[in-house]
Protein backbone atom coordinates (compact mmCIF):
# COMPACT_ATOMS: atom_id res chain seq x y z
CA UNK A 1 0.00 0.00 0.00
CA UNK A 2 1.45 3.36 -1.04
CA UNK A 3 1.82 6.14 1.51
CA UNK A 4 -0.27 9.28 0.90
CA UNK A 5 1.67 12.31 -0.35
CA UNK A 6 2.18 14.83 2.45
CA UNK A 7 2.80 18.55 2.10
CA UNK A 8 3.45 20.69 5.16
CA UNK A 9 0.76 23.34 5.73
CA UNK A 10 3.38 26.11 5.58
CA UNK A 11 4.61 24.89 2.19
CA UNK A 12 1.06 24.51 0.90
CA UNK A 13 0.22 28.12 1.83
CA UNK A 14 3.45 29.35 0.23
CA UNK A 15 2.68 27.46 -2.98
CA UNK A 16 -0.84 28.87 -3.10
CA UNK A 17 0.44 32.40 -2.51
CA UNK A 18 3.05 32.04 -5.27
CA UNK A 19 0.38 30.73 -7.63
CA UNK A 20 -1.93 33.69 -6.95
CA UNK A 21 0.86 36.28 -7.23
CA UNK A 22 1.96 34.91 -10.61
CA UNK A 23 -1.57 35.21 -11.93
CA UNK A 24 -1.93 38.79 -10.70
CA UNK A 25 1.48 39.75 -12.14
CA UNK A 26 0.24 38.95 -15.64
CA UNK A 27 -2.43 41.66 -15.40
CA UNK A 28 -2.00 45.31 -16.37
CA UNK A 29 -1.95 47.69 -13.43
CA UNK A 30 -4.54 50.01 -11.89
CA UNK A 31 -3.89 53.26 -10.03
CA UNK A 32 -6.40 54.67 -7.52
CA UNK A 33 -5.66 58.04 -5.93
CA UNK A 34 -7.27 60.97 -4.21
CA UNK A 35 -7.73 64.26 -6.04
CA UNK A 36 -9.21 67.57 -4.93
CA UNK A 37 -12.86 66.66 -5.57
CA UNK A 38 -12.89 62.92 -5.05
CA UNK A 39 -11.20 59.65 -5.97
CA UNK A 40 -9.73 58.84 -9.39
CA UNK A 41 -9.40 55.37 -10.96
CA UNK A 42 -7.07 54.83 -13.92
CA UNK A 43 -6.48 51.39 -15.43
CA UNK A 44 -4.65 50.17 -18.48
CA UNK A 45 -7.44 48.33 -20.28
CA UNK A 46 -7.86 48.06 -24.04
CA UNK A 47 -11.17 46.20 -23.84
CA UNK A 48 -14.36 48.17 -24.40
CA UNK A 49 -16.52 45.45 -22.86
CA UNK A 50 -14.60 44.05 -19.88
CA UNK A 51 -14.24 46.68 -17.18
CA UNK A 52 -11.64 46.74 -14.43
CA UNK A 53 -13.36 49.68 -12.70
CA UNK A 54 -17.04 49.70 -11.77
CA UNK A 55 -19.64 51.30 -9.56
CA UNK A 56 -20.86 49.32 -6.55
CA UNK A 57 -23.23 51.80 -4.89
CA UNK A 58 -23.92 55.52 -4.55
CA UNK A 59 -20.50 56.51 -3.19
CA UNK A 60 -18.64 53.21 -3.48
CA UNK A 61 -16.56 51.93 -6.40
CA UNK A 62 -14.51 48.83 -7.20
CA UNK A 63 -11.31 48.22 -9.16
CA UNK A 64 -9.44 44.98 -9.77
CA UNK A 65 -6.59 43.24 -11.54
CA UNK A 66 -6.01 39.55 -12.22
CA UNK A 67 -8.32 36.88 -13.61
CA UNK A 68 -11.40 38.59 -15.03
CA UNK A 69 -14.02 35.93 -14.31
CA UNK A 70 -12.95 35.79 -10.66
CA UNK A 71 -13.01 39.51 -9.93
CA UNK A 72 -16.24 39.85 -11.91
CA UNK A 73 -17.82 37.35 -9.51
CA UNK A 74 -16.55 39.45 -6.61
CA UNK A 75 -17.92 42.63 -8.18
CA UNK A 76 -21.36 41.11 -8.58
CA UNK A 77 -21.29 39.78 -5.01
CA UNK A 78 -20.43 43.29 -3.81
CA UNK A 79 -23.38 44.79 -5.68
CA UNK A 80 -25.74 42.20 -4.18
CA UNK A 81 -24.35 42.90 -0.70
CA UNK A 82 -24.81 46.65 -1.13
CA UNK A 83 -28.30 46.39 -2.62
CA UNK A 84 -29.57 44.11 0.15
CA UNK A 85 -28.06 46.21 2.92
CA UNK A 86 -29.29 49.48 1.42
CA UNK A 87 -32.80 48.09 0.95
CA UNK A 88 -33.00 46.42 4.36
CA UNK A 89 -31.62 49.34 6.35
CA UNK A 90 -30.75 52.64 4.71
CA UNK A 91 -28.63 53.69 1.75
CA UNK A 92 -26.19 55.42 4.10
CA UNK A 93 -25.59 52.08 5.85
CA UNK A 94 -23.74 50.80 2.77
CA UNK A 95 -20.11 51.49 3.64
CA UNK A 96 -16.80 50.53 2.07
CA UNK A 97 -15.63 49.14 5.41
CA UNK A 98 -18.46 46.62 5.48
CA UNK A 99 -17.83 45.75 1.83
CA UNK A 100 -14.11 45.26 2.50
CA UNK A 101 -14.89 42.97 5.45
CA UNK A 102 -17.17 40.87 3.26
CA UNK A 103 -14.52 40.55 0.54
CA UNK A 104 -11.84 39.71 3.13
CA UNK A 105 -13.92 36.84 4.45
CA UNK A 106 -14.61 35.47 0.97
CA UNK A 107 -11.01 35.70 -0.24
CA UNK A 108 -9.58 34.40 3.03
CA UNK A 109 -11.90 31.38 3.03
CA UNK A 110 -11.05 30.50 -0.56
CA UNK A 111 -7.30 30.93 0.01
CA UNK A 112 -7.21 28.72 3.10
CA UNK A 113 -9.44 26.03 1.57
CA UNK A 114 -7.60 22.87 0.68
CA UNK A 115 -9.85 22.09 -2.28
CA UNK A 116 -10.33 25.28 -4.28
CA UNK A 117 -7.51 27.14 -5.96
CA UNK A 118 -6.90 30.68 -4.63
CA UNK A 119 -8.37 33.59 -6.53
CA UNK A 120 -5.80 35.27 -8.77
CA UNK A 121 -7.08 38.75 -7.98
CA UNK A 122 -6.23 41.94 -6.17
CA UNK A 123 -8.97 44.51 -5.60
CA UNK A 124 -9.51 48.03 -4.35
CA UNK A 125 -12.78 49.30 -2.92
CA UNK A 126 -13.16 53.03 -2.26
CA UNK A 127 -15.79 55.26 -0.72
CA UNK A 128 -16.33 58.97 -1.24
CA UNK A 129 -17.04 60.75 2.03
CA UNK A 130 -18.93 63.98 2.55
CA UNK A 131 -15.56 65.69 3.02
CA UNK A 132 -12.05 64.68 1.86
CA UNK A 133 -10.92 63.44 5.30
CA UNK A 134 -13.77 60.91 5.20
CA UNK A 135 -12.67 59.37 1.88
CA UNK A 136 -11.43 55.78 2.18
CA UNK A 137 -9.45 53.40 -0.03
CA UNK A 138 -8.98 49.73 0.91
CA UNK A 139 -6.78 47.28 -0.99
CA UNK A 140 -7.43 43.54 -0.63
CA UNK A 141 -5.10 40.79 -1.75
CA UNK A 142 -5.72 37.20 -2.82
CA UNK A 143 -5.52 35.86 0.77
CA UNK A 144 -8.06 38.28 2.24
CA UNK A 145 -5.53 40.71 3.72
CA UNK A 146 -6.86 44.28 3.94
CA UNK A 147 -4.78 47.48 3.79
CA UNK A 148 -6.18 50.94 4.48
CA UNK A 149 -4.33 53.00 1.86
CA UNK A 150 -3.28 56.62 2.33
CA UNK A 151 -3.16 58.94 -0.70
CA UNK A 152 -3.14 56.23 -3.39
CA UNK A 153 -3.12 52.51 -4.16
CA UNK A 154 -1.48 50.61 -7.02
CA UNK A 155 -2.23 47.03 -8.08
CA UNK A 156 -0.88 44.71 -10.73
CA UNK A 157 2.30 43.13 -11.97
CA UNK A 158 4.41 46.31 -12.03
CA UNK A 159 2.96 47.84 -8.88
CA UNK A 160 6.31 48.70 -7.25
CA UNK A 161 7.67 50.66 -10.24
CA UNK A 162 4.35 52.44 -10.78
CA UNK A 163 3.92 53.28 -7.09
CA UNK A 164 7.36 54.88 -7.05
CA UNK A 165 6.35 57.29 -9.82
CA UNK A 166 3.00 58.09 -8.15
CA UNK A 167 4.60 58.71 -4.75
CA UNK A 168 7.10 61.12 -6.34
CA UNK A 169 4.43 63.22 -8.04
CA UNK A 170 1.52 62.97 -5.60
CA UNK A 171 0.53 65.84 -3.36
CA UNK A 172 -2.74 66.52 -1.53
CA UNK A 173 -5.30 68.55 -3.44
CA UNK A 174 -4.25 67.65 -6.98
CA UNK A 175 -6.70 68.76 -9.64
CA UNK A 176 -8.35 66.12 -11.79
CA UNK A 177 -6.14 66.97 -14.78
CA UNK A 178 -2.91 66.69 -12.82
CA UNK A 179 -3.99 63.53 -11.02
CA UNK A 180 -4.99 61.83 -14.28
CA UNK A 181 -1.75 62.75 -16.01
CA UNK A 182 0.26 61.53 -13.02
CA UNK A 183 -1.54 58.18 -13.06
CA UNK A 184 -1.05 57.72 -16.80
CA UNK A 185 2.62 58.69 -16.56
CA UNK A 186 3.08 56.13 -13.79
CA UNK A 187 1.31 53.39 -15.76
CA UNK A 188 3.51 54.09 -18.78
CA UNK A 189 6.64 53.76 -16.60
CA UNK A 190 5.93 50.19 -15.51
CA UNK A 191 9.25 48.98 -16.91
CA UNK A 192 11.20 50.78 -14.21
CA UNK A 193 13.55 53.75 -14.21
CA UNK A 194 15.89 52.31 -16.82
CA UNK A 195 13.17 51.56 -19.38
CA UNK A 196 11.68 54.06 -21.81
CA UNK A 197 8.06 55.01 -20.96
CA UNK A 198 5.39 53.39 -23.11
CA UNK A 199 2.86 55.43 -25.05
CA UNK A 200 -0.62 54.98 -23.59
CA UNK A 201 -3.36 56.50 -25.71
CA UNK A 202 -6.96 57.10 -24.78
CA UNK A 203 -7.97 53.76 -26.32
CA UNK A 204 -5.69 51.94 -23.86
CA UNK A 205 -7.13 53.54 -20.73
CA UNK A 206 -10.15 53.08 -18.51
CA UNK A 207 -10.78 56.14 -16.34
CA UNK A 208 -13.49 56.84 -13.80
CA UNK A 209 -14.06 59.04 -10.77
CA UNK A 210 -16.08 59.26 -7.60
CA UNK A 211 -16.91 62.96 -7.93
CA UNK A 212 -17.95 64.91 -4.84
CA UNK A 213 -19.22 67.81 -6.96
CA UNK A 214 -21.74 65.67 -8.81
CA UNK A 215 -25.21 66.90 -7.90
CA UNK A 216 -26.91 63.52 -7.46
CA UNK A 217 -26.66 60.60 -5.02
CA UNK A 218 -24.62 58.45 -7.43
CA UNK A 219 -21.13 59.91 -7.54
CA UNK A 220 -19.50 57.46 -9.98
CA UNK A 221 -18.88 58.52 -13.56
CA UNK A 222 -16.67 57.40 -16.41
CA UNK A 223 -14.46 59.65 -18.53
CA UNK A 224 -13.55 58.42 -22.00
CA UNK A 225 -13.20 59.32 -25.65
CA UNK A 226 -12.69 62.96 -26.56
CA UNK A 227 -13.31 64.11 -23.00
CA UNK A 228 -10.52 61.90 -21.70
CA UNK A 229 -8.21 63.14 -24.44
CA UNK A 230 -8.94 66.74 -23.44
CA UNK A 231 -8.39 65.94 -19.79
CA UNK A 232 -4.95 64.43 -20.46
CA UNK A 233 -3.95 67.24 -22.80
CA UNK A 234 -4.16 70.05 -20.24
CA UNK A 235 -7.73 70.77 -21.22
CA UNK A 236 -10.37 71.99 -18.78
CA UNK A 237 -11.78 69.47 -16.36
CA UNK A 238 -14.91 68.00 -17.97
CA UNK A 239 -18.18 69.21 -16.53
CA UNK A 240 -20.46 66.58 -15.04
CA UNK A 241 -22.89 66.82 -17.92
CA UNK A 242 -20.13 66.48 -20.49
CA UNK A 243 -18.92 63.04 -19.48
CA UNK A 244 -20.28 59.57 -19.89
CA UNK A 245 -22.82 58.59 -17.31
CA UNK A 246 -22.34 56.11 -14.52
CA UNK A 247 -23.79 53.10 -16.28
CA UNK A 248 -21.50 50.48 -17.83
Task: List pLDDT tens digits, range 79-128.
Answer: 999 999 999 999 999 999 999 999 999 999 999 887 779 999 999 999 99
Percent over 90 (pLDDT), the chain: 75
DSSP state of 110: H
**Residue 205, CA distances (Å) to 129, 184, 222 in order:** 26, 8, 11
Mean pLDDT of 169-178: 95
If DSSP codes are grouped into helix, strand and coil, which group holds residue 126?
strand
Between 145 and 240, the more confident residue is 145
In this prediction, residue 121 carries a pLDDT of: 96
If DSSP codes are grouped into helix, strand and coil, which group holds residue 244?
strand
From the list 158, 137, 157, 140, the residue with the least C-alpha distance to 35 is 137
Contacts of 67 (CB under 8 A, 6+ apart): 23, 27, 119, 120, 121
Residues in the chain: 248
Which domains are assigned to the chain?
50-156 (3.60.20.10)
pLDDT band at 157 (very low <50, low <70, confident <90, very high): confident
Alpha-carbon dihedral angle through residues 183, 33, 145, 22, given to the nearest 10 degrees: -10
pLDDT at 241 over 80: no
pLDDT at 245 over 50: no
Alpha-carbon dihedral angle through residues 178, 181, 182, 188, given to the nearest 10 degrees: 180
pLDDT band at 64 (very low <50, low <70, confident <90, very high): very high
Q: Average pLDDT over the chain, rounded to whole?
A: 89
In this prediction, residue 147 carries a pLDDT of: 95
Look up the pTM and report it. Answer: 0.90
Contacts of 102 (CB under 8 A, 6+ apart): 77, 78, 81
Cβ burial of 164 (10 Å; 0-12, 13-18, 19+) is middle
Which residue blocks in 133-224 are alpha helix, DSSP H?
Answer: 159-169, 176-188
In this prediction, residue 125 carries a pLDDT of: 98
pLDDT at 225 over 60: yes
Q: Estimate the share of the chain in helix, then strand, then coil, as percent rounded to the nearest 5.
A: 40, 25, 40
pLDDT band at 192 (very low <50, low <70, confident <90, very high): low
Q: Across-strand partners of 30?
A: 43, 155
Amino acid sequence: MSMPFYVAPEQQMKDRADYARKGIARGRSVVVLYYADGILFVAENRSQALHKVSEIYDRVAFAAVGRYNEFENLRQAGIRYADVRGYTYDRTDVTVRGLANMYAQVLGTIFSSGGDKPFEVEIVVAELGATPPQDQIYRLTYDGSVADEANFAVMGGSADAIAEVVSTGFRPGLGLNDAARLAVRALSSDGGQNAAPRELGVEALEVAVLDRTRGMPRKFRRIKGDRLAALLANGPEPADGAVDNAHD
